[in-house]
Structure 1
Amino acid sequence: MIRADDGGSRARPGDDGFAELVRPYEHELRVHCYRMLGSLHDAEDALQETLLSAWQALPGFEGRSSLRTWLYRIATSRCLNAVRAGARRPPTAPLPPFDVPAPSREERVTWCEPHPHPAPSADDPLDVRHGLEYAFLCALHSLPPRQTAALVLCDVLDFTVAECAEMLESSPTAVKGLLQRARAAMPPNDPLAAPKDELRLAERLARAYAADDVDGVLALLTDRSWLAMPPAPHRYDGREAIGRFLRASAAGRGARYAVEPSGWAGGHPVFRCLIDGEDRGLLMVIAASDGATVSGVVRFLG
């Protein structure tokens, strides 16, 4: 039987009360599915499967955990099933219309669609970026699925190890092992630039990028900056390598981009790239913590 404070007495399968019961959790469950799957479309599918499963299973819910924990258990299970079914496969990389310079390295593509959200506030720049920052998500999706689930549930959502073990149908000891391996594989948590500094810097880079002003772009980078272009596996590290690619791209394209602000996604400002009015994907600019240089540029192709 559902606890009274969960509103369970008002909802049974077929009742309008079910929608009222789960509505307070829908947004956070959608975000949870996105963190697990890295795709807005797949997250929406997983959320709908979660709500359907919850609706069907509601009469058997005995209230040994809170309704929220129970819903997260169902959502996590649906996401792990989706991963096993191949939902996290990256799309095919488009063929470039020019000879691509040799990249600094090729890496296994971790396809994460950036999550849109309002600009962070000046008072609390992390308020909408916690657990949605793009570099964090890419690192998250390089982990085995159960490590991803354990890290999200415990380190992002603050569930206890015991609660996580119940959700994953595992033991606390096994979950501690998953967490230990996942935490060791994650990159250091670098500080983010202040929102105004990051936006100002991103706009400068976007204008130079759209004008094929390669020198203007490089002036905002350092030798530690990088350029990635998912779903292509190529990555260019440092000014020299990035400059070679941008010059080859400008010469082979034969037309300049028009770049339009497209809000914030993945914790950073993004811009939509257009050629002759045709959408050619997104440009994300990741500012360094000093707010004066760019640490990374992500060009989402297609």
Structure 2
Amino acid sequence: MGEDFSDLVLARSGDDAAFTRLVAPLRAELHAHCYRMLGSVHDADDALQDALVRAWRGLARFEGRGTLRAWVYTVATRTCLDLLEGRARRALPVDLGPSSERAVVGDAPLADVAWLGPYPDAALPAGPGARYEQREAVELAFVAALQHLAPNQRAALVLFEVLGFTVAEIATIMDTSTTSVNSALARARRVVAQKVPSPSQQRTLRKIEDARLREIVTGYATALERGDTEALVALLTEDVTWSMPPIPHWYHGLKAVTDFAVEVPLARCGSWRHVPTTANGQPAVALYLRNEGAEAYTAWSVTVLTLRGDLISEITSFLGADHFAHFGLPPVHDA
């Protein structure tokens, strides 16, 4: 086994420091696993903490027949499945209804929807998975597609395609049959194939020079800061979409997106400042807003950009200052 046997012995005897050392190399990948399953960094935090407590308390049941990694993933997956029981799936505005053709001014947040949230790249583990690279496996399109799957299908797909477990191992993890796992995988693959565009963002980004990528990210943010509609539009595809969870309305197509941009963020929202970041394996911008009469620029949104070629095809602005702490960003911008 790859684990330190002496730490395993100590952990079984009640040494929590030894247990901490055992699971430390797995924490990042377990956290990303919980995020894929649950669609929320906050929920992933809670699930990981709960799973590690369960694993610590149940360590005596680990007989060493498989790897400790597989056993801990069993605990984490079952923890996530327990949390998903009876819960509504997490959504983006595009899941709720058709796009709006004109800007909706004064759009109110929907508090009764469980919204998908962004994932900070700094939390990602290093190294590729079995089929999807780690960054591909947290891209917005992929995680959003997972939310359309039944929990058992979601778990089977992630465990097989992302983490490289065998069907037999997954059957053990999920306490089911290999037939059930294969059936769940087949259904999950059909849904994901329909909802996840090709190529992945990772393949797209690899074809763009770093300097050009910085131009795109900075160009988007500075166009907002300067109120420059022409500069913003030049960065967008004809079929661009813009959504802002927890705001329910969203926009599709250059005409509708331009109308929204002119009427709301460029005209009615005050003054902007930005900090470049990355989220879900994609370029992102943390935006700070200063309303008229206010002294400070305060946290407003983490905006994730999806690219096609070297243009922006999707803008997903996750509104709310609560996202900023997960990215290690301050609530106030020192302008």
* Shorter-chain TM-score range: 0.7 to 0.9
Candidates 192, 201, 218, aligned match of 2:204:
192
CA deviation digits over 1:100-133, x for unaligned, max 9? 07x9xxxx9773322212599xxx9x96513121
Candidates 227, 231, 234, aligned match of 2:242:
227
Cα separation, partners in 2 of 1:13 and 1:199, compared to 1, 3 Å? farther
Q: CA-atom RMSD, angstroms?
A: 3.0
Measure, in 2, the Cα distance between the counterparts of 1:4 and 1:119: 23
| Helix, strand or coil at the partner of 1:42 | helix
Which TM-score applies when normalising by structure 1? 0.83
| Helix, strand or coil at the partner of 2:137 | coil
Cα separation, partners in 2 of 1:236 and 1:60, compared to 1, 3 Å? same
Is 1:132 aligned with 2:141?
Answer: no
Return 5+ residue gaps in structure 2 as ranges: 94-101, 291-296, 321-335
Question: Is the 1:110–1:142 contact (alpha carbons within 8 Å) kept by the matching residues of 2?
Answer: no
Cα separation, partners in 2 of 1:221 and 1:251, compared to 1, 3 Å? closer
Is 1:300 aligned with 2:328?
Answer: no
Measure, in 1, the Cα distance between the counterparts of 2:319 and 2:2: 50
Candidates 172, 175, 178, aligned match of 1:169:
175
Question: Is the 2:134–2:162 contact (alpha carbons within 8 Å) kept by the matching residues of 1?
Answer: no
What residue identity is the alignment partner of 2:303? L
1:155 corresponding residue in structure 2: 161
2:98 corresponding residue in structure 1: none
| Helix, strand or coil at the partner of 1:34 | helix
Measure, in 2, the Cα distance between the counterparts of 1:235 and 1:41: 24
The percent of aligned pairs where both chains have the same amino acid is 37
1:206 corresponding residue in structure 2: 221
2:33 corresponding residue in structure 1: 32
**Count of residue pairs brought into register by the alignment:** 283
Which TM-score applies when normalising by structure 2? 0.76
Cα separation, partners in 2 of 1:110 and 1:179, compared to 1, 3 Å? farther
What residue identity is the alignment partner of 2:248? P
Candidates 108, 115, 121, aligned match of 1:111:
115
Q: How does 1:1-302 map onto structure 2 within 5 Å?
A: 7=5, 8-15=8-15, 16-84=17-85, 86=87, 100=104, 111-118=115-122, 129-186=135-192, 187-190=196-199, 191-194=203-206, 196=210, 197-250=212-265, 253-261=268-276, 263-276=277-290, 277-288=297-308, 290-291=309-310, 293-302=311-320
| Helix, strand or coil at the partner of 1:228 | strand
Measure, in 1, the Cα distance between the counterparts of 2:3 and 2:283: 40
| Helix, strand or coil at the partner of 2:12 | coil
Measure, in 2, the Cα distance between the counterparts of 1:159 and 1:109: 33
Cα separation, partners in 2 of 1:110 and 1:224, compared to 1, 3 Å? farther
Cα separation, partners in 2 of 1:14 and 1:238, compared to 1, 3 Å? same
Return 5+ residue gaps in structure 1 as ranges: 93-97
Q: By how many angstroms is 1:33 displaced?
A: 1.0
